[in-house]
Chain A
Amino acid sequence: MSHTFFIAFSYIVTALVVAGLILRAVIDHRIQLRALADLESRGVGRRSRRG
């Protein structure tokens, strides 16, 4: 195998792992924001402990 293969594979793997980290961060954040908005839209809040 030529050296180009090892260089290209290194950059592809790094790009994929970094892209995965960024995607995971964005998707997870959106899921939590949606869940929070859903709970708040149903009137669930910290004050609900009193009521």
Chain B
Amino acid sequence: MIRELANPTRFMSLSGTLLPWVGGLAAILLGVGLYMVWFAAPADYQQGETVKIMYLHVPAAWLSLFFYMIMASSALGTLVWRHPLADVSQKAAAPIGAAFTLICLVTGSLWGKPMWGTYWQWDARLTSMLVMLLIYLGILALWRAIEEPNRAARAVSILTLVGAVNVPIVKFSVDWWNTLHQPASVFRIDGPTIHPSMLVPLLIMAVAFSLLGVALHLSGMRTEILRRRVRTLTILEAERLDAQAA
């Protein structure tokens, strides 16, 4: 399957068919999720209505890590297997991951103020998430700094793999250190600690956000393939004009 998709033309055709379905399903699930959050899910017995921020904050945090894992796999694809679409995938994933990390940090901060009494605390989870955003921004800057796509892809791949060290730190920071941030409450060995009336809308929002992310990623990859075609044709035209002038 991955080998078949190595052909950009085949990828464009398949992604063109998939994109409206994935985007449409994301929109429907987002509508259902938001309806459940606002009209079905109860207020928390301690946090009151402020718990509604959780339905944005938690999916955004998951997607921040998810897109970093996509970038790390794509980096391996670039450096080890030299898959022609690996760096395209890596480049398309970076701004989406950065945006979800930003949403996670902002909503977390806005949730923290009424619950903890502060917008920010330099604890392990919050700090490692800020480091994640800085790594994303560094990767985006590196893509822009090197013009030649293949050279940029190799440099970014190395930076991405080095930055991947931060992923388990983000995930397990609440277990390894004593943090203000609460420990995991959904993916636990002894099962979720959230009541189903809140867990179901949370999972629906998470799936909706994931599908939205996948749709944006597919769209970003299609645009990047077009950008590279434009670049190649522009160089060919310049070469042709040079040859004519000579």
For A20-44 the 0/1 string (1 means CB < 8 A from B) is: 1110110011001101100110101
Cα distance, A9 to B110, chains bound together (Å): 8
Q: Given A10-B111, A29-B223, are A17 and B102 also a contact pair (CB < 8 Å)?
A: yes
Asked if B194 lies at the interface with its beta carbon under 8 angstroms from chain A, I say no
Q: Is the CB of B227 within 8 A of A32?
A: yes
Contact A32 B111 (CB under 8 A): no
B134 at the interface (CB under 8 A from A): no
Number of B positions contacting A (CB below 8 A): 36
Q: Is the Cβ of B212 less than 8 Å from the Cβ of A18?
A: yes
Does A10 contact B106, Cβ atoms closer than 8 Å? yes
- By secondary structure, the A interface counts as helix
Q: In angstroms, how far is the closest chain B Cβ from the Cβ of A6?
A: 5
Complex interface bits, B232-246 against A, C-beta within 8 A gives 1, otherwise 0: 111011011000000
Q: Which residue of A lies closest to B225 (CB)?
A: A32
B52 at the interface (CB under 8 A from A): yes
In the complex, chain B residues whose CB is within 8 Å of the CB of A45: 233, 236
Contact (Cβ within 8 A) A29 B236: no
How far is it, in angstroms, between the C-alpha of A45 and the C-alpha of B229 when the chains are bound? 10
Interface of B is mostly: helix
Given A7-B50, A11-B56, A48-B237: A29 and B107 interface contact (C-beta under 8 Å): no
In the complex, the answer to whether A10 meets B56 with C-beta atoms within 8 Å is: yes
Could you tell me which residues of chain B, from 188 to 246, have a CB within 8 Å of some CB in chain A? 212, 216, 219-220, 222-223, 226-227, 229-230, 232-234, 236-237, 239-240
Residues of A close to B212: CB separation below 8 A: 18
Does A7 lie within 8 Å of B95, measured CB to CB? no
Contact for A29 among B95, B106, B113, B226, CB less than 8 A: B226
At the interface, yes or no: B129 with Cβ under 8 Å from chain A? no
Among A4, A20, A21, A28, the most chain B Cβ lie within 10 Å of the Cβ of A21
Given A36-B230, A48-B236, A14 contacting B50 (CB threshold 8 A):
no
Q: How far is the CA of A8 from the CA of B97 in the complex (A)?
A: 23
Closest 9 CB pairs of A and B: A32-B226, A44-B237, A39-B233, A10-B107, A29-B223, A25-B219, A35-B230, A10-B53, A6-B110
Report which B residues bind A (CB closer than 8 A).
Answer: 48-50, 52-53, 56-57, 60, 95-96, 99, 102-103, 106-107, 110-111, 113-114, 212, 216, 219-220, 222-223, 226-227, 229-230, 232-234, 236-237, 239-240
The 9 listed contacts between A and B (C-beta, < 8 Å) are A7-B52, A11-B56, A18-B103, A32-B223, A32-B226, A44-B233, A44-B237, A48-B236, A51-B240
Given contacts A35-B230, A44-B240, 14 further A-B contacts (CB under 8 A): A6-B53, A7-B49, A10-B56, A10-B57, A10-B106, A10-B111, A13-B107, A25-B220, A25-B223, A32-B230, A36-B226, A44-B236, A45-B233, A46-B236
